[in-house]
Amino acid sequence: MISPGLIQTELTRRIWESPPAATASTKMHALGRLGTPKQVSDLAAWLLDPEHDFMTGQVLGIDGGLGHVVPKR
C-alpha cells in the first residue's frame, strides 16, 4: 500500500497555491517540500514490476518525512 503525504495535485491545489499555506505545509515536511504525482507513480511502477514481487503486506509512506515530524508551535 502506498501512503502519500501532501502531493501537489488538483485536490490539494488550494493549499500549495496559497503562499501562507504552502509555507506552513513545507515547514512540516522534513524534506522542506511537497511531493509530486510523478514521485508517487514512480513508486507504484516499482511495486508493480514483477522483479519486486517478494514485497508483501507493507505500507510505504511517501510523505517527505511528514509522518515523523512534530510541527513547531
Give the residue with greater pLDDT, 69 vs 5: 5
Instruction: Express each pLDDT in 14-37 by its tens digit.
Output: 999 999 999 999 988 888 899 999
* pLDDT at site 30: 86
Domain that holds residue 43: 2-65
Does any domain span residue 51? yes
* pLDDT at site 46: 95
Domain count, the chain: 1
DSSP conformation letters of 37-59: HHHHHHHHHHHHSGGGTT--S--
* pLDDT at site 43: 96
DSSP conformation letters of 57-68: S--EEESTTGGG
Does any domain span residue 70? no
**For residue 35, what are the β-bridge partners?**
7
Distance CA 17, CA 31 (A): 19
Q: Which contacts (CB < 8 Å, 24+ apart) does range 44-53 have? A: 44/2, 47/2
Does any domain span residue 73? no
